[in-house]
């Protein structure tokens, strides 16, 4: 694959105005699937979360999950949308082996929610209103694994294996209108928008919204138009963008790539592009063509959903605070400085910190771990921090520090162990033997040993040369492999000197 030419971001923005658009798919955390009573569960044995409906067996019919409708309405309301008086389903027809019926049940003319707006705050304090065109309900497809090719890629694979456990999982697809005016902030806005949508979903309790698991997936549309031109440029749709940082990088890359083509007098092909995390680039997918004739028509097997004013108002009254308002409140409650809070927002870590605090950690400890050690590891691994560790485990670690069981240094090792899959913080502490040694006997023994090696020190201490303690404390800490509380060692050493 030939490497794309790219233009510098600055130059690209000088010449062209970027116009963005997003399609975000959120898997709803219902107990059952969108149209069947099969469990909606991640990580089961292949092809076991399946009823005849999910397999599209002859004679089967779909029935709408009431909870999925309620979740979709709540999400629509949280996105500032109107809720349709009458919402209906349609079939989107295309053949693909991950789709059991070879049509997807989705919504076309009458989505459950439409005409919304989401407030997104950028690092510099700018507030952006992202216009939402619609949010509609649909079903997820199964999962393909490609075998025989290199690295599981489609190209070169000789066969594919299909697991339909995910087929039929409820999705809401949120579609924005074209987003103008982001300019230099376009990549940041992309990331911030997805982060806000993710926070909304989590705060509503309708989805775990874990991007690394595909609970939340983003397709980013990017087009450029020359400065001063009214007509929109041709857009590309970048798929497979599975982390917040990738959203940002993918948008930046597409702006630079498209700008290079346009500047050289070329034209943009309307196509899907695939994001490659490893190289930080996109590659051409299928061009849009007249083969993309999805032949939508009203789903005859399903009736329209008419939610009723009462239900909508009830769900509206149960909505959690809007993210922007909540942010202002949390910042106060947590007592973060502007800088600290912005760090959290930029890291897309609000939900994590909230949950960590809810799980019993102090706000400062939660912030310190998430924006510190965890963010550092996430950066090295090129993933989102949220995908690495659960808020419960972070809180548990923080509590161990507070209780004096761990020092900060030991706690970093615990975090690392949890991320490495070694179990809960307590399990890592136990397995690695990381707890602070609080047994005075063991410490006194180590002190005596150190004193035996440096007999002159006791003398110096008695003479009041307190700084001499450092050498012994260092030796004890070393002997204890760092798992001792230095203050306590010092206390014990001075007691010892007084006794002798």
Find the farthest-apart pair of alpha carbons in the chain and give their distance in angstroms, rounded: 95
Q: Which is nearer to other proteins, 5 or 31 (CB)?
A: 31
Q: Which is nearer to Mg ion, 32 or 176 (CB)?
A: 176
Instruction: Answer with the entry of Mg ion, other proteins, Zn ion, none that 160 interacts with (C-beta below 5 to 8 A by kind).
Output: other proteins
Question: Nearest distance from residue 214's CB to Zn ion, in Å?
Answer: 13
C-alpha to C-alpha distances, 160 to 6, 196, 276, nearest whole angstrom: 34, 36, 21
The binder of other proteins chosen from 125, 228, 300, 421 (CB under 8 A): 300
The three-state secondary structure class of 109 is coil
Characterise 75 by phi-psi region: left (phi > 0), alpha (psi -120 to 50), beta (else): alpha
214 binds other proteins (CB under 8 A): no
Residue 55 contact among Zn ion, other proteins, Mg ion, none, beta carbon within 5 to 8 Å by kind: other proteins
Stretch that binds other proteins, among 74-82, 150-158, 415-423, 477-485 (CB under 8 A): 150-158
Q: Which stretch binds other proteins (CB under 8 A): 15-23, 132-140, 292-300, 425-433?
A: 292-300
The reply to whether 133 sits near Zn ion by the rule CB under 5 A is no
Work out the end-to-end distance of the chain between its first and last CA atoms, rounded to an integer number of angstroms.
77
**Which of 89-97, 132-140, 195-203, 409-417 is the region at the interface with other proteins (rule: CB under 8 A)?**
89-97
- Residue 180 touching other proteins (CB under 8 A): no
Per the CB < 8 A criterion, the answer to whether 47 and 224 are in contact is no
Closest approach of Zn ion to the CB of residue 344, in Å: 31
Please tell me the distance from the alpha carbon of residue 63 to that of residue 61, in angstroms, as a whole number: 7
Work out which of 163, 173, 208, 237 binds Zn ion, going by CB under 5 A: 173
Contact 49/61 with Cβ under 8 angstroms? Answer: no
Pick the closer one to other proteins by CB: 101 or 191.
101
- The yes or no reply on residue 56 touching other proteins (CB under 8 A) is yes
Rounded Cα gap, residues 404 and 51, in angstroms: 51
Q: Which of residues 383-422 bind other proteins (CB under 8 A)?
A: none
Shortest spacing between CB 450 and other proteins, in angstroms: 59
| Distance (Å) of CA 331 to CA 7, 352, 465 | 39, 14, 47
CA atoms within 13 A on the CB side of 385: 27
- In the bound state with Zn ion, the residue whose beta carbon lies nearer, of 173 and 343, is 173
Do 355 and 370 form a contact (C-beta atoms < 8 A)? no
Tell me the closest approach of the beta carbon of residue 173 to Zn ion, in angstroms. Answer: 4
As measured in angstroms, the least distance from the Cβ of 23 to Zn ion is 7
Q: Where do the H-state alpha helices sit in 235-384?
A: 244-263, 309-317, 323-334, 338-346, 350-358, 363-369, 375-381
219 binding Zn ion? (CB under 5 A) = no
> Would you give the DSSP letter of residue 227?
T
Please identify, among the stretches 3-11, 37-45, 398-406, 408-416, the one whose residues bind other proteins according to the rule CB under 8 A.
37-45
Please report whether residue 455 would count as binding other proteins according to CB under 8 A. Answer: no
**Binding marks (x or -) toward Mg ion, 20..39, rule CB under 5 A?**
---x----------------
Minimum distance from CB of 396 to Mg ion (Å)?
39
Q: How many residues bind Zn ion (CB under 5 A)?
A: 1
Question: What secondary structure letter does DSSP report for 150?
Answer: G
Least separation in angstroms between residue 103's CB and other proteins is: 5
Number of residues engaging other proteins in binding (CB under 8 A)? 76
Q: Give start and end residues of each alpha helix (H) in 264-337.
A: 309-317, 323-334
Q: Quick one: which H or E segment has residue 399?
A: helix 391-402
Residue 124 binding target from other proteins, Zn ion, Mg ion, none, CB below 5 to 8 Å by type: none
CA distances from 476 to 58, 449, 450 (A): 74, 9, 7
Residue 487 dihedral angles phi and psi, to the nearest 5°: -60, -40
Find the part of the chain contacting Zn ion (CB under 5 A) among 160-168, 171-179, 242-250, 468-476. 171-179
Q: Which residues bind Zn ion (CB under 5 A)?
A: 173
- Note the residues at the interface with Mg ion (CB under 5 A): 23
């Amino acid at each position: 694959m030939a490497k794309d030419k790219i233009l510098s971001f600055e130059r690209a923005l000088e010449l062209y105005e970027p116009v963005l658009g997003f399609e975000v798919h959120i898997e709803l955390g219902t107990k059952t699937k969108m149209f069947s009573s099969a469990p909606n569960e991640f990580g089961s044995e292949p092809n076991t979360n399946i009823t005849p409906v999910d397999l599209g067996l002859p004679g089967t019919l779909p029935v709408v999950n009431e909870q999925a409708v309620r979740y979709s309405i709540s999400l629509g309301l949280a996105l500032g949308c109107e809720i349709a008086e009458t919402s209906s389903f349609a079939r989107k027809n295309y053949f693909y082996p991950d789709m059991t019926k070879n049509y997807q049940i989705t919504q076309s003319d009458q989505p459950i929610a439409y005409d919304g707006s989401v407030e997104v705050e950028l690092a510099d304090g700018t507030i952006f209103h992202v216009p939402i065109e619609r949010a509609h309900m649909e079903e997820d497809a199964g999962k393909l694994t490609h075998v025989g090719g290199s690295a599981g890629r489609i190209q070169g694979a000789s066969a594919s294996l299909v697991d339909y456990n995910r087929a039929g999982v409820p999705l809401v697809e949120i579609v924005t209108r074209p987003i103008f005016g982001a300019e230099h902030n376009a990549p940041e806005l992309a990331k911030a928008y997805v982060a806000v949508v993710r926070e909304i979903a989590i705060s509503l309790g309708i989805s775990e919204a874990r991007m690394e698991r595909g609970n939340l997936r983003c397709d980013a549309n990017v087009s450029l138009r020359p400065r001063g031109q009214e007509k929109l440029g041709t857009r590309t749709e970048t798929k497979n963008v599975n982390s917040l940082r990738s959203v940002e990088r993918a948008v930046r890359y597409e702006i630079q790539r498209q700008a290079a083509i346009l500047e050289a007098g070329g034209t943009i092909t309307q196509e899907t592009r695939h994001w490659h995390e490893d190289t930080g680039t996109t590659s051409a997918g299928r061009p849009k063509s007249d083969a993309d004739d999805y032949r939508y028509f009203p789903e005859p097997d399903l009736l329209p959903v008419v939610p009723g004013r009462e239900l909508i108002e009830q769900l509206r009254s149960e909505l959690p605070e809007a993210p922007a308002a909540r942010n202002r409140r949390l910042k106060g409650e947590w007592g973060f400085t502007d800088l600290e809070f912005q760090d959290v927002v930029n890291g897309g870590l609000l939900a994590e910190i909230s949950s960590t605090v809810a799980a019993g950690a102090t706000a400062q400890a939660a912030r310190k771990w998430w924006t510190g050690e965890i963010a550092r590891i996430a950066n090295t691994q090129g993933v989102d921090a949220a995908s690495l560790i659960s808020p419960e485990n972070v809180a548990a670690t923080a509590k161990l520090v507070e209780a004096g069981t761990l020092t900060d240094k030991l706690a970093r090792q615990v975090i690392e162990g949890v991320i490495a899959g070694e179990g809960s913080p307590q399990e890592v502490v136990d397995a690695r033997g990381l707890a602070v040694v609080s047994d005075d006997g063991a410490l006194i023994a180590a002190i005596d040993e150190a004193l035996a090696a440096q007999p002159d020190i006791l003398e110096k201490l008695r003479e009041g040369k307190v700084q001499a303690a450092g050498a012994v404390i260092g030796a004890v800490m070393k002997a204890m492999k760092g798992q001792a509380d230095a203050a306590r060692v010092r206390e014990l050493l001075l007691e010892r000197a007084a006794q002798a």
